[in-house]
Amino acid sequence: MVSCKKAETKKTEIIEEKTTTEIKIEENIGEERFVENDSLAFAFQSELEKFTFKNPMFKSASKPYQNHHDKTVIDTIKTLTYDKTELEFYKAANWEHIIGGIIKNPEIEFFDSIKIGIKKETLENILKTQIATDLVTLGNLEQTSLFTFQFENGILKSIKFQGYFD
């Protein structure tokens, strides 16, 4: 019986730890606003790619990446950097797409007015929604294209992009 009681005590401790974790997750959700808009997320991604491809300001570094669908094919991961900004692209034989990165420089502008230093109201007008938090994520339904905007004192400080590639 003593060993059974110890097992019960351990179960109770695990449940308490889960409860604490669940509370922390709920608190974090309250601090971030998620806006689901497939067409706008796609447009942001497309505009960011266009800006990056046509702009010579970026330094480029490439490394080989073995295609996980066809082990005989070697694709490329390209990293483009400019000052405090870093963007990663996946390049196959016939296409290239952004897969992630962080923007921290006001010189990187897309969608006519998205850039570091804009006021929260500017993004609210584009998203057509009120933003009460300092962290807002725009994404598509599947969450395969996510833009996270971080504000400090109502001013955009960074944009993080998380994409998906298969």
pLDDT digits (tens, 9 = 90+) for 58-91: 999 999 999 888 999 999 999 999 999 999 999 9
Domains of the chain, by residue range, sit at: 33-162
Average pLDDT, the chain: 83
pLDDT at 20 over 50: no
Give DSSP secondary structure letters for 138-150. EE-TTSSSEEEEE
pLDDT at 107 over 50: yes
Q: Residue 36 corresponds to which tokens in the numbers above?
A: 């689901």
Separation in Å, CA 163 to CA 16, 69, 71, 101: 35, 19, 23, 9
